[in-house]
Amino acid sequence: MKKVRGVLWGLILVAVGVLLLLNTLDVLAFDIFFKGFWTLFIIVPCTVALITEKERLGSLIGLCVGVFLLLCSRGVLAYALLWKLLLPIIVVLIGLRIVCGTLFGRKKADVANIPPVSPAAKNTTAVFNGARVSFAGETFDGAALRAVFGGIECDLRDAVIDKDCVIDATAVFGGIELYVPQGVNVQVTSTAVCGGVSDHTKQETGAHTLYLRATCVFGGIDVKGEEHFYAEN
């Protein structure tokens, strides 16, 4: 996809250059700075991302916003109508993304039957604020993390992980950072709407597994090894 994205951007720049050249030579006559030209800086990148990226919902929403703004700038639609239509359309797109992801999304065979979070799991919630939770010296039985318009840092570097465990994490307009120790594998299964999970850890043979069940709605979850913690601090 990187090659496709590069080719598309290259062709777009060539096309823009040719149009500017023809306009300069009076072969074509058009106003470069037409009313609403600035919306192209939204429409073009979103269109390219829609073609080249796997997660397309954010690009589709951005494209809809760009087209609506262009139509409003051109006087086709009123700005008041834009805001009335935009929210319902975004909600419909998010709903369709969740339905399609549930019905047709691919699941890895080894994480399809993840057990529920242990009753002994520690719950941490951050709503419009930040929270930090550490399991230093504790036997880890799993965790439930909820970040809503907030952030959570979960530190497992010094936790005692002597079995496979489940972490249930939800980030809604927020973020979660999860630091795991060496000698532990992480398996991720996620449902994402304009967000996602970044797993920077390495798989190790014969290690216990942390099953991360993630839900991201306009939010993100970063899973990092302890080496990242020391590099950032």
Considering the domain architecture, whether residues 97 and 116 belong to the same structural domain is answered as no
Does one domain contain both 78 and 48?
Answer: yes
| Residue 128 region by backbone torsions, left for phi larger than 0, else alpha for psi between -120 and 50, else beta | left
CA nearest to 90, candidates 56, 65, 53: 65
One domain, residues 209 and 122: yes
Q: What is the pLDDT of residues 111-134, one digit of tens each?
A: 446 666 777 788 899 988 999 999
* First CA to last CA distance, the chain: 34
119 and 20 belong to one structural domain: no
Q: What's the total number of domains in the chain?
A: 2
Residues 31 and 126 in one domain: no
The pLDDT tens digits of the residues spanning 157-191 come to 999 988 889 999 998 888 999 999 888 899 888 87
Q: Are residues 82 and 142 in the same domain?
A: no
- Predicted confidence at residue 149, as pLDDT, reads 87
Residue 97 pLDDT exceeds 60: yes
CB-CB contact of 173 with 217 (8 Å): yes
Does position 5 have pLDDT exceeding 80, yes or no?
no
Residue numbers of the domain that contains 205: 110-232
Could you give the C-alpha distances from 203 to 27, 78, 200, in angstroms and in order?
Answer: 60, 54, 10
Same domain, 99 and 8: yes
Could you give the residue ranges of the DSSP H alpha helices within the chain?
A: 2-24, 40-52, 57-73, 79-104, 226-232
Structure tokens at 119: 């009753």
Whether residue 166 is found in the same domain as residue 63: no
Whether residue 106 is predicted with pLDDT greater than 50 in this model: the reply is no
Residue 108, pLDDT > 60, answer: no
Triad 195, 150, 114: Cα angle to 5° = 55
Query: How much is the pLDDT for 20?
Result: 83
Same domain, 123 and 54: no
